């Protein structure tokens, strides 16, 4: 059975990618999807405790529930079978590193990731998660570009 890591971040592009991945898995039949979301520090919130700022990240359980809801909604929109083997995984860390580490961990045959279309200048300064995954991937990478 092929193991495919589907990297999602909650953006519209990743939601569209998720629907595409579900349809792909249904068509291929021998595919297990591992929907991976990496919690980044930017997802947290800052609160003040004893006059000091404290940065709090959302819990993995809370994020996992949201991603499971996205999977259910994408399945319904795409009219995809509920019997597809889909596992939701949540990690914390640097997105491209976590995606690559997880793909190696499960011996994935493919990584599916969305591309948001950064400008050349933005990509030069901050890089692109998709570009870094493509460059360092231990397996094939499918980059979803929205129409």
- Delimit the domains of the chain by residue range: 2-144
The dihedrals phi and psi of 29, each to the nearest 5 degrees, come to: 75, -40
Residue 75 clears pLDDT 90, i.e. is over it: no
pLDDT at 44: 67
Lowest mean pLDDT among 55-69, 87-101, 119-133: 119-133
CATH of 2-144 among 3.30.70.580, 3.40.50.620, 3.90.1150.10, 3.40.50.1100: 3.40.50.620
Cβ atoms 2, 135 nearer than 8 A: no
pLDDT at 4: 96
4-36 pLDDT, tens digit each:
999 998 888 888 999 999 999 989 888 999 999
Per-residue pLDDT band at 115 (split at 50, 70, 90) = confident
DSSP secondary structure letters along 39-99: E-GGGSEEEEETTEEEEEPPPHHHHHHHHHHHHHHHHHHTT--TTS-EEEEEEES-HHHHH
52-64 pLDDT, tens digit each:
777 677 888 888 9
Residue 118 clears pLDDT 70, i.e. is over it: no
């Amino acid at each position: 059975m092929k193991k495919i890591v589907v990297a999602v971040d909650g953006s519209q592009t990743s939601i569209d990618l998720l629907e595409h991945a579900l349809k792909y898995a249904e068509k291929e039949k021998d595919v297990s999807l591992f929907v991976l979301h990496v919690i980044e520090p930017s997802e947290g919130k800052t609160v003040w405790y004893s006059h000091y700022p404290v940065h709090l990240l959302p819990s993995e359980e809370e994020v996992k529930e949201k991603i499971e809801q996205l999977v259910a909604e994408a399945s319904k929109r795409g009219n995809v079978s509920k019997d597809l083997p889909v596992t939701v995984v949540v990690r914390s860390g640097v997105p491209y590193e976590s995606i690559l580490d997880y793909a190696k961990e499960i011996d994935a045959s493919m990584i599916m990731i969305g591309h948001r279309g950064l400008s050349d200048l933005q990509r030069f300064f901050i890089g692109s998660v998709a570009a870094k995954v493509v460059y360092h991937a231990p397996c094939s990478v499918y980059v979803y570009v929205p129409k």
